[in-house]
Amino acid sequence: MRKRIFVLCALVLFLCFFARAGGAQKGLKVFISVDMEGISGVIHWDDVSRKGDDYPLFRKFMTQETNAAIVGALEAGATEILVRDSHGSARNILPDLLRHEPELLRDWSGGPLIMMEGIDKTFDAVIFIGYHARAGTPDAVLKHTMTGTIFDVVLNGKKMPEAGINGAIAGHFDVPVVMVTGDLAICKQANELFGDVETVAVKEGIGKAAKMLHPVKAQELIKKKTTAALKRLKDFKPYKPKPPFTMEITFTEEEIAERSSWIPGAKRSGDRSVSFTSNDFMEILKFFRLAR
């Protein structure tokens, strides 16, 4: 009898320890950064501008694609989701149409995390919705890098789309990018940078034109691929360029390069280029925030 009681008590203690140590699977915490140029149907700058006649329609599509990712994340076990509105004014997603489960981060704080504001080490995964290719990419819809004043951004020798810069920010906090949606060009650039992450190409550029998926079809794929990405979370690693970090920015105008070269630590590296090197990635982000 005593032996039975001892074995039973030992079993109970083991189960309690196992649960406290994390034996029970914790819910996923997911960060979703949402841009607009890569949303289904979008083809012209008017579509993503408050002055455009169709901007209200594409705000709706932007919100619906975000909702699709949210549903996919919930089905994969997400218990916390933060949605970061990352386009233009950062006031595009329609709060009343957004699902109620996530928190929504709107507007700009002025800090160096920009499109990744709110990210920290507590997140398990990052998803990019509605992203676009870097400036100068052929057959890419509304390609650019952050602002119209930047021609190119190179980090540790690699040309960066916004997804690359933001993926490196996520990597700084040891969080992997698991899915990217947008046009075919950004999906290819994401795979080049991050490896075999899930992607959804909602359109394919043909010069300044593009052939598109129907918005409903795009949303269905985003939901499906979000769930798939989070269910294979162990397959992904954070994108972490190695120090020392060097960022070189080439601007469209020499005047902007001259002005940016006055940032402490920055060096003029070409007629329209400025570079900055540091072992601290946050210092790189501060430079990038100021040099525009």
Extract the residue ranges of the chain whose pLDDT is less than 50: 5-25
pLDDT value at position 22? 41
pLDDT value at position 4? 53
- Token digits of residue 56: 């209200």
| Candidates 44, 87, 132, 144; catalytic one | 144
Tell me if residue 87 is catalytic.
no
Q: 28-141+161-235: CATH homologous superfamily?
A: Dipeptide transport protein (3.40.50.10780)
Give CATH 3.40.50.10780 domain extents, the chain. 28-141+161-235
- 46 φ, ψ (degrees, to nearest 5): -60, -30
pLDDT value at position 27? 86
- Prediction pTM value: 0.91
Residue type, 79: T
pLDDT value at position 292? 83
Question: What is the rounded average pLDDT for all residues in the chain?
Answer: 93
Sheet holding 158-159, edge to edge: 158-159, 150-155, 245-251, 273-278, 267-268
